[in-house]
Structure 1
Amino acid sequence: MSRASVLIVEDEHFLGSNLQEYLRRRGWDAQLARTGELALAEYERLRPCLVLMDYELPDMDGFQILGAMRATEEAPCGCVMMTAHTSETVIWRAGEQEVVHVLQKPFALSEMERWLQTASANCRCGTCAP
């Protein structure tokens, strides 16, 4: 069974590649972008249902990227954020931006997938398949 499309936004090469490979093996349509600029271009091209977003990227932060995505006609259905620097500010901003969950790095891959499934299950677009 095919699962929802997800855009992974992660600048750390090894982690990004591992997340993409894990999700693909689990049946997700997973694509990877390593900068904010590339993430926005890939989002425009692919229109994925979900975004797995790193908080800190070299060119912008995850909230800036998510804001730009949500300003488009077809905003992502859900976002799960990843960060090594969880703070009250990040958690508060994530709530304001309707981020489904903030994962503290390092995290278990199964936990990440559970939160993506939650985001997919709560989707109202009709194309996400939990």
Structure 2
Amino acid sequence: MSLAAERTVVVVDDDRTLTRTLVISLRSRGWRALVAHDGATGLELAETARPDVVVLDLGLPDLDGHDVLARLRTWSQTPVVVLTARHARAEAVRALDAGADDYVTKPFSVDELLARLRAAVRRADPAQDAPVVETGALRIDLARGRVHREGVEVRLTPTEWAVLELLVRRRGHVVPTAEILRAVWGPAYGTESNYLRVYTAQLRRKLEADPARPRHLVTRPGRGYVFDP
């Protein structure tokens, strides 16, 4: 069963064309999608439907999206992915500080948004995707956030772990550099590839037998990075 199977998402956005398109995409991938075109209705749906995740626009006709988020957080920890046309970094920081789990700006890729919804649900319910990955000399416990190499625990910084966890959860698939940057450093990032080079180099020194010729943490030039099990 896929992660999205039987999952419920509430989409709160007053753009009816966008919500129609998004609902079609969500339902085709196994999500139960409910729509609210204003903040008050969105809060009601969040309470009655008890969704697994909420997609929230900031520019609503009755309430500002930040107010909707603040009210929701007084009684619920349901993951919230903000989807908005507001590109200012200050808006993203404000939303994330207020309890949003992710921040996506319009126009957006439906596939990327779906990936972010899946990630938000996983983080809220780690048991849904918390295997122990064992490959070569490495043992990576995604549930406990621990890594062992040849039986010895390897200490990682929070940022190193965030990069490794993302790649391991998508193991075997190339993850674009911009996607990693936004997921680890925040939605305002996407071009600072030097950050990622530094942290992947640190991870290779800690985890690879030969950091100069990595077996697991592989760069795909012009595309991104892959964890090759």
Specify if TM > 0.5.
Answer: yes
- SS, match of residue 51 in structure 1: strand
Q: 2:46, 2:54 within 8 Å by CA — same for their partners in 1? A: no
Compute the TM-score of the two structures, normalised by the length of structure 1: 0.88
Aligned to 1:54: 57
- SS, match of residue 40 in structure 2: helix
Worse-matched range after superposition: 54-63 or 91-100: 91-100
Rounded Cα–Cα distance in structure 2 between residues aligned with 1:94 and 1:103: 11
Aligned to 1:69: 72
Aligned to 1:42: 45
Aligned residues: 126
Aligned to 1:12: 15
Aligned to 1:106: 107
Q: 2:69, 2:100 within 8 Å by CA — same for their partners in 1? A: no
Rounded Cα–Cα distance in structure 1 between residues aligned with 2:7 and 2:62: 27
Q: 1:8, 1:31 within 8 Å by CA — same for their partners in 2? A: yes
Rounded Cα–Cα distance in structure 2 between residues aligned with 1:43 and 1:31: 10
CA RMSD between the two structures: 1.8
Identity over the aligned pairs, expressed in percent?
A: 30
Residue ranges of structure 2 left out of the alignment (5+ in a row): 130-229
Q: 1:84, 1:106 within 8 Å by CA — same for their partners in 2? A: yes
2:87 matched to 1:80? no
Q: Which has the higher contact order (CA 8 A, sep 6+)?
A: 1
Supply the AA of the counterpart residue of 1:112.
Answer: L
2:13 matched to 1:22? no
Rounded Cα–Cα distance in structure 2 between residues aligned with 1:124 and 1:114: 15
CA deviations 1:7-41 (Å, max 9, x no partner) are 00010111011111110110111110000111111
Residue ranges of structure 1 left out of the alignment (5+ in a row): none
Q: Which has the larger radius of gyration?
A: 2
Distance 1:24 1:69, change over 3 A: same
